[in-house]
Structure 1
């Protein structure tokens, strides 16, 4: 019995993510269905493709061989889809993995201009605390906080962006002005939960003063923004969030932290038309909003 294409696609998802639950999240197919398809695929081939470990699913030697063939089939299918869609109208699925603040606050407010140009595309904007992996083909494009050092990926700097310390007007009126870091240590600080940081680039407060420790913490930058705007305390925000909220003012204006966004794609996907048009659109968008991103 020949393997079914759906079964091979689910096999690829599990091989790339290492877990049934992650594969289910990346494909939109429930884990039970993926498990059933994997068993059917193994039965049709007469081979065991995965070993189940405490961490998840690990490819066997037979699984590694199938993975190489299935990836080649997927690349060919992608190219066929691209030729068909560009001959008429660009269509299909585009998945973009991006940090929560940049995705939900910045990209989301501008995305309508991209959708107007390519209405037949389905766009998954995965804006969350953490990233999907372009090297494992979990996403078409990832906007990361650091350039990957390894893997079959192509990366380029997208933009620099600035961060500053912010508080609400009401908080400052109640607690008093902050003129130096010694005074800042005496205020309520809002920040990330240290052991839930998904990237070292998110350690902001230490760059202002090593003695600064947040006492109101969240893994979400959008939740931190809401806390700061609700007069809870002082925290560091990207300038494209903090400067856009009229309830907030900059604290210690001389403090200006800089970070970068990197656009990353799998080396086999960079020439796909849907990837190229989004890269071009986003590059033009950040170029036109450079001062907003930097907080100049």
Structure 2
């Protein structure tokens, strides 16, 4: 069964039709005339038709050849247009950049799209929230903020920063139950505890050491729900400092963070040449550097 025509077969017909001779086609393709002859023979085999009628050094396209030439021109024009559009998309500061991040980052990045728009009016930013990491290789997002440093060689870390966690309680809770002076004093207090999927992370496992064995209670499966329960007076719990410190209903019990994890701003290597990605990355990195103390849970 003969092979189906591919782009190389169309290219030889396109060159012959535009140049009008074997020598001219050879110049266009930067090969010698004998190579043009071999490629033409292969194209005719693939098409299953005679495409060119030769008369010495001159030739004429057959009806099948003219149909192949028209198709080749359309394909060439489409390729040129696609090339120009891709180059333009990479070089211009227009479009939307999607940033996938955990819910806590959605809070402190809420005004970040406005920052980008004030610097680059043609650029938009979409913040995508979720606990599961997105697949940058499949184009599910352009940038990802994640706690786990990537091992995929196609992913690059643009910036790393510390994300601190602290121990919080509602003012109303402290007025009723008292303020623990040390970590050890947390024992005996009502606690807001996280569900099993969170306990592999040291800051959310920290509170477990102060829980009474076999004590009944409610475990939460989201940081937002934990913050709601702590703020409502349900007990003492752990939150990211950047979230807890911004909540007027809450008090941080200890000045020092109990844990600081390394978070990473990640992008796919294939996007390295994108002007819009670079512009957003630069602003995103500057945003995190400016707030590095608050993110880590330090005063300054």
TM-score normalised to structure 1 length: 0.64
d(CA) in 1 for partners of 2:243, 2:85:
38
- Structure-2 residue corresponding to 1:90: 93
Alpha carbons of 1:271 and 1:210: their partners in 2 closer, same or farther (altered >3 Å)? farther
SS of 1:111's equivalent in the other structure is helix
> Displacement, 1:211?
4.7
- Structure-2 residue corresponding to 1:27: none
Does the 8 A contact of 2:194 with 2:204 survive in 1?
Answer: no
SS of 1:268's equivalent in the other structure is helix
SS of 1:94's equivalent in the other structure is strand
Does the 8 A contact of 2:207 with 2:238 survive in 1?
Answer: no
- Structure-2 residue corresponding to 1:228: 230
- Structure-2 residue corresponding to 1:206: 205
Alignment map for 1:1-296 (pairs within 5 Å):
80-81=84-85, 83-85=87-89, 90-102=93-105, 104-195=106-197, 197=198, 200=200, 202-207=201-206, 210-212=209-211, 215-296=217-298
Q: CA RMSD in A?
A: 3.0
After superposition, the C-alpha distances for 1:169-207 in whole angstroms (9 at most, x for unaligned) are 111111112133443232222243213x4x94x341434
- Structure-1 residue corresponding to 2:61: none
> Displacement, 1:105?
0.9
TM-score normalised to structure 2 length: 0.63
**Number of residue pairs matched by the alignment:** 218
SS of 1:155's equivalent in the other structure is strand
- Structure-2 residue corresponding to 1:60: none
d(CA) in 1 for partners of 2:204, 2:274:
40
SS of 1:183's equivalent in the other structure is helix
Alpha carbons of 1:268 and 1:280: their partners in 2 closer, same or farther (altered >3 Å)? same
Does the 8 A contact of 1:166 with 1:248 survive in 2?
Answer: yes
Alpha carbons of 1:82 and 1:112: their partners in 2 closer, same or farther (altered >3 Å)? farther
Alpha carbons of 1:77 and 1:287: their partners in 2 closer, same or farther (altered >3 Å)? farther
d(CA) in 2 for partners of 1:91, 1:292:
32
d(CA) in 1 for partners of 2:254, 2:90:
51
Unaligned runs of 5+ in 2: 1-79
Does the 8 A contact of 1:189 with 1:216 survive in 2?
Answer: no
Does the 8 A contact of 2:169 with 2:251 survive in 1?
Answer: yes
After superposition, the C-alpha distances for 1:128-148 in whole angstroms (9 at most, x for unaligned) are 222212233321111110211
SS of 1:263's equivalent in the other structure is strand
d(CA) in 1 for partners of 2:82, 2:294:
36
Q: Which has the larger radius of gyration?
A: 2
